[in-house]
Structure 1
Amino acid sequence: MPKKDSLIMCKCKDNIQVLVGPAPDNEFIFFQCRQGPWLPTLRLLHQYPDILPKFRVDRGAIRFVLSGANIMAPGLTSPGGHMDPVPAESLVGIFAEGKEHALAIGVTTMSSEQIAADNKGIAVENTHWLKDGMWTLRSLAP
């Protein structure tokens, strides 16, 4: 976080707040839905890919994740998938097999150990993905 530059907090429709970074870019860097946690945007995750634990989905799950679907356990436990060890309800970056940048950010519904053991059901609730509403909002005008 910048030490001297000011940040802007904006309240938007549907109880969403965004934190906007300093000029000259004025990029959205964090957002919050209702009383939930502050989440980094994908643009920030692309700049700093190591700020969140990484989950990687296999190639077959990519189109579903980009459509806003939740991430199912088999997409993470197949040969193309990978999970950093995390507890339940952790914020994670979703990466794709063979791709460099994250394609989504989500919150785990169970620990990575339980995902691997059960191998069924929703593993990560997708909260922000490429080409969604938050992604298409570029920045505030200076």
Structure 2
Amino acid sequence: QAEKELLAPQVGLAPGGGAPYHPGVAPLKQFSGLRRELPPSVHLLTLARWDRTSLLLRLEHQFAVGEGSGNWSSPVTVNLKDLFSAFTITDLQETTLAANQLRAGASRLKWTPATGPAPQPPPPRLDPAAITLQPMEIRTFLALVQWKE
């Protein structure tokens, strides 16, 4: 409920050089940035312009293991390849949560437990068509995009 109130649509009016009004041509009354709905357990947390050709994209899995009805707390795979209506993702790089380092090259503190060092597998190659989110996981990406006309 709090999320619905906080993220409720707001109308903003301003003078601008937008599309001119043409009598006889139906104005665009509805727009969606997504071509299809995200799975119910996935929330698009951040979509922000990073620079001219890239965006910061952050996705979160909203449920913990055993929470929610049905299988909403299971890992979920999202296809980002053709999800957005205004652009196409041409390349994807995962970053740390703060988006200040690429995940593959992040310098992390290394702890050596009494049982010996724990192996750290390298992050898998990213496929924008198959991003998997584990329960309660937030993943952050820099997406290189091609804007649609």
Bin for the TM-score computed over the shorter chain: under 0.3
Report which of the two has the higher share of strand: 1
TM-score (norm 2): 0.26
TM-score (norm 1): 0.27
Higher relative contact order (CA 8 A, sep 6+): 2
Report which of the two has the higher share of helix: 1
